[in-house]
Structure 1
Amino acid sequence: MADALKLKIDRMTPEGPGMARPPGQRVHFVPYTAPGDTIEAVVRQSKSGYVRASMTKLLEAGPGRIEPRCVLHYSPAMAEAGKAPCGGCDWQHLSYATQLESKRTLVRDCLFRIAKLREPRVQAPLASPGEWRYRNKVLVPFGTAKGRLVAGFYSPGSRNIINFEDCLIQPEGSVAIVQAVKKLASEYKWKVYDEKRNGGWLRHLFVRTNAVGKSVAALVT
Structure 2
Amino acid sequence: MRGEELKHITRFDSSLIRALVNLFTSHAQIAFVLVSATYLINGFSLPSVEKNVIILASAIYLVLVYIYLGVTNHTFVFTDQTLEVENRLLFFRMRQSFPLRQIKQVLFRHDWTETAGKEIKIGIFRTAVRWTMHLFFPFDYKWIEITTTRSFRFYCFGLDYDYFDNEGPLFEDLFKALKSRGIRVGWTNKKYSPYYDGLWTSTELKAPDKNQSPKYFSKP
Q: By percentage of residues, which structure has more helix?
A: 2
Q: Which structure carries more relative contact order (alpha carbon 8 Å, separation 6+)?
A: 2
TM-score (norm 1): 0.27
TM-score (norm 2): 0.27
